[in-house]
């Protein structure tokens, strides 16, 4: 790789450091990554495809409209390079879009490929160890194989994107867990406070009060937290009685 390309790669590595912050814009980063691939590598188009929580591959970024349309067609075809790359976890290099097999295929990807200006596609797995999250797809308008150094650089970019994605997901999961924990603690405090109020009001033990609250709430499809908040706010029905 030329010195200028090496310098550009270092700049992209610096961009990837932003993934360590909660304010990180993942879609924007992946879009920039597709543009950087075209800058750094001998390709004219790039696209990023990720697996959804429902197990479906989805296009999330592309360098241009032609690439986007060709990748969308590829995702409609289970035989397309993106699907093969995700299923195998292995790079699919030097796929000739003008080959006999593509020409004879009547699938949406083959049809779109024959009408595009691209002649070759390279698909690189986005994975960390054994976890595959998607693929980075590179499209070329000139014939010829991807040399080893460019393939390694492309895989490096793919690896950086994978780390960014997994880091973002970890941050999101951590945030969800914090919210869930705080909600649980808030609910627990409200229930305990309501138990104390009702226990004193009805001269019951705390355990008996809790059992009575559940017995009251269940047939009314009322959550204990909601019942507890009504007790605290003193907004219960006037005819409220513990069972």
Strand partners for 124: 136
Instruction: Please give the structure tokens belonging to residue 90.
Output: 């292995």
pLDDT in tens, 131-166: 899 999 999 988 888 999 899 889 988 988 888 888
Specify whether the CB–CB gap between 116 and 147 falls below 8 A. no
**Whole-number Å distance between alpha carbons of 41 and 145:** 12
Contacting residues for 227 by C-beta, under 8 A, at least 6 apart: 194, 213, 216, 217
Specify whether the CB–CB gap between 30 and 161 falls below 8 A. yes
Instruction: Please give the structure tokens belonging to residue 139.
Output: 């499209």
**Whole-number Å distance between alpha carbons of 148 and 165:** 25
> What's the pLDDT score for residue 137?
94
pLDDT in tens, 204-242: 888 888 888 888 888 888 888 888 888 888 887 766 676
pTM above 0.75, yes or no: no
Helix (H/G/I), strand (E/B), else coil: 139? strand
Specify whether the CB–CB gap between 142 and 104 falls below 8 A. no
> What's the pLDDT score for residue 142?
85
Specify whether the CB–CB gap between 75 and 137 falls below 8 A. no
Can you name the CATH fold of 177-233?
A: Arc Repressor Mutant, subunit A (1.10.10)
Domain boundaries, given as residue ranges, for the chain: 3-174, 177-233
> pLDDT-derived band of residue 47, with 50, 70 and 90 as boundaries?
very high
User: Looking at residues 163-174, what average pLDDT do you find?
Assistant: 77
Strand partners for 121: 95, 139
Report the candidate in 112, 103, 96, 30 with the shortest Cα–Cα distance to residue 63.
30
**Whole-number Å distance between alpha carbons of 241 and 243:** 6
Share of the chain above pLDDT 70, in %: 83
Rounded (5°) CA angle 55-58-63: 155
Instruction: Please give the structure tokens belonging to residue 3.
Output: 């010195």
User: Looking at residues 64-74, what average pLDDT do you find?
Assistant: 88
Specify whether the CB–CB gap between 44 and 140 falls below 8 A. yes
φ, ψ of residue 95 in degrees (nearest 5): -85, 115
Indicate the class that CATH gives domain 3-174: alpha beta
**Whole-number Å distance between alpha carbons of 193 and 195:** 5
User: Looking at residues 195-209, what average pLDDT do you find?
Assistant: 86
pLDDT in tens, 76-95: 877 678 888 888 899 999 98
């Amino acid at each position: 790789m030329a010195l200028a390309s090496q310098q550009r790669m270092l700049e992209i590595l610096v961009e990837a450091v932003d993934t360590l912050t909660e304010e990180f814009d993942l879609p924007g980063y992946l879009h920039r990554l597709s543009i950087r691939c075209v800058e750094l590598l001998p390709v004219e188009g790039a696209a990023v495809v990720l697996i959804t929580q429902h197990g479906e591959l989805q296009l999330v970024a592309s360098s241009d409209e032609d690439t986007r349309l060709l990748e969308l067609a590829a995702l409609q075809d289970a035989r397309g390079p993106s699907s093969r790359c995700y299923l195998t976890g292995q790079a699919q290099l030097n796929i000739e879009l003008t080959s006999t097999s593509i020409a004879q295929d009547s699938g949406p990807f083959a049809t779109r490929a024959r009408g595009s200006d691209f002649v070759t596609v390279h698909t690189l797995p986005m994975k960390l160890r054994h976890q595959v999250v998607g693929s980075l797809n590179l499209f070329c308008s000139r014939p010829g194989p991807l040399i080893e150094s460019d393939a390694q650089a492309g895989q490096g970019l793919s690896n950086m994107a994978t780390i960014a994605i997994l880091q973002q997901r970890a941050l999101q999961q951590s945030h969800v867990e914090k919210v869930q924990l705080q909600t649980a603690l808030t609910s627990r405090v409200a229930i305990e406070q309501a138990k104390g109020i009702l226990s004193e009001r009805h001269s019951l033990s705390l355990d008996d009060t809790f059992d009575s609250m559940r017995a009251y709430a269940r047939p009314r499809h009322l959550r204990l937290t909601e019942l507890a908040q009504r007790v605290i706010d003193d907004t219960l029905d006037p005819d409220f009685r513990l069972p």
